[in-house]
Amino acid sequence: MISTRTVGGTALSIPEGWLKWGGWCLLVSIFINGFFFRFAPATLSGSMQQQLGLTTTALGIVASMHFWVYTLMQVPAGIFTDSVGMRNGGVIGGAVTALGAFCFGFAPTFVVLLVGSALMGLGLSAVFVALMSYNATWFSPERHSLIMGTTMLLAALGSAIAQSPTAHLLNWFTWREIVIFFGILTLSATALLPVFSASSSKKEQPPDLKARMKLRQLLLGNRYVLRERQVWLLFLCVAATNGTLYAFLGLWAVPLLTDGFSLNAYQAAQYATAALIVYGISSLFWGWAAYRVGAKKPIIVTTTLLSTIVWAAMAFSEWMPGWSALLLFVFLGLSGGPVGVIFAATKESVTLQNVGFATALVNMGAFLAAALVQSGFGVILDIATISENDINPSFQSYQVALILPLIVSGIGVIAAMLLREKSY
């Protein structure tokens, strides 16, 4: 089937299959940039602090603002995207994300930097829901876990780029130029999205029915989602596997290695990079495994258990830089990989009409946990450091703080055990 699109007054005939994959590639590219923005503060922090005179507390506020706004806007973004459509949601979300990147990159003060971080979190909440809805609409249930795994694999490239590669880029470019460059990439992909993407399929509601749908009807359907036990269990599972991982790798992993073992920032970033690369690859692996096994619960149970074991080992064993640290970071990345499987299970738990809202709600678990663990980790670290009468945190202080993600992961194991498996 051929679809006609108009670009600059010129009519283009584009095969529907191309539009399906074109829209997916553009949404994923915006999502990749979003992961870069999410993890870049850890690498750019030194340059930002030096140029803007930021304190450690101010830097922590800037880094966590993205997570807090992203978390709080998940449910509104789900409702918004379900009402305006996944393509429009992606366009608006991408535009707001790009605006946030430009505010961040050009920020002359702490306040503007904070606004930029908030806008990026706001825009990416809509982009995420649009992409998840796009995957749910255009790909069959049997292949949904695999496509979700591929999506997260590609998205994880952004987080990996934000580590060691960005540390190298700082030798030639300023932190502002790097952020602005990724903002331009985001804006470019957003501008192409209305033309080179599919807006509907046979699985979606007819356009006339979609147009007549009221916000009240969406809210009534979402009440059903809020009462769905499976959705809340998946909320806890993604908090355990991904929320703890995002909090640690997004801010505390590098300081732990530099303060606890006197590594330099580049050496420490290599461990975080390894974890994020494994995280991306394992997203595809776990999606493939769920497809081959024909079940999602075993994958989720296995990874929540693995996450708990890794946090326990970090908190209570005498590990150090080298192979022991590398193995812990690799297994940590592996434990975060089932996010695509979790979102696929979410899709199966609700009607297609409410997939956007349900996915946003589950995803909220990851970022609420990330925000809480990221800030709580710092509080525990300060208390432990004061009690030891040290100026800088010691390795033992970090180990005390690591008990927090361990507790969150333990709750996730219980939730995973209570999940029910859907049979086809």
DSSP secondary structure letters along 253-269: HHHHHHHHH---HHHHH
Count H helices and E strands in the chain, helices first: 20, 2
| Cα separation, 82 vs 34, whole angstroms | 21
What mean pLDDT is predicted for residues 91-115?
A: 94
What mean pLDDT is predicted for residues 125-131?
A: 88
pLDDT of 282-325, one tens digit each?
888 888 888 788 889 999 999 999 999 999 999 999 999 999 99
The CATH number of 14-200+225-417 is 1.20.1250.20
According to DSSP, residue 7 is labeled E
Burial of 267 (0-12, 13-18, 19+ CB in 10 A): middle
Pairing of strands 2-7, 10-15: antiparallel
Question: Residue 217's pLDDT is what?
Answer: 52
What mean pLDDT is predicted for residues 373-389?
A: 82
What mean pLDDT is predicted for residues 44-62?
A: 78
Q: Which residue has the higher pLDDT, 166 or 314?
A: 314
In a 3-state reduction of DSSP, which class is residue 146?
Answer: helix
Whether residue 220 is predicted with pLDDT greater than 60 in this model: the reply is no
| Cα separation, 82 vs 210, whole angstroms | 10
Question: Residue 2's pLDDT is what?
Answer: 53
| Cα separation, 424 vs 409, whole angstroms | 30
pTM score, whole prediction: 0.75
pLDDT of 6-41, one tens digit each?
444 444 455 555 677 788 889 999 999 998 998 888
pLDDT band per the 50, 70, 90 thresholds, residue 144: low
Question: Residue 152's pLDDT is what?
Answer: 76
- H helix intervals, 53-192: 56-72, 74-84, 86-106, 110-138, 141-161, 164-169, 175-192
For residue 121, which amino acid is it?
A: G
pLDDT band per the 50, 70, 90 thresholds, residue 52: confident
Whether residue 347 is predicted with pLDDT greater than 70 in this model: the reply is yes
Whether residue 145 is predicted with pLDDT greater than 60 in this model: the reply is yes
Whether the CB-CB separation of 385 and 393 falls below 8 Å is answered with yes
For residue 75, which amino acid is it?
A: V
3-state helix, strand, coil in the chain (%, to 5): 80, 5, 15
Whether the CB-CB separation of 408 and 312 falls below 8 Å is answered with no
Lowest mean per-residue pLDDT among 101-105, 151-155, 245-249: 151-155
| Cα separation, 152 vs 337, whole angstroms | 8
Other beta carbons less than 10 A from residue 229's beta carbon: 11
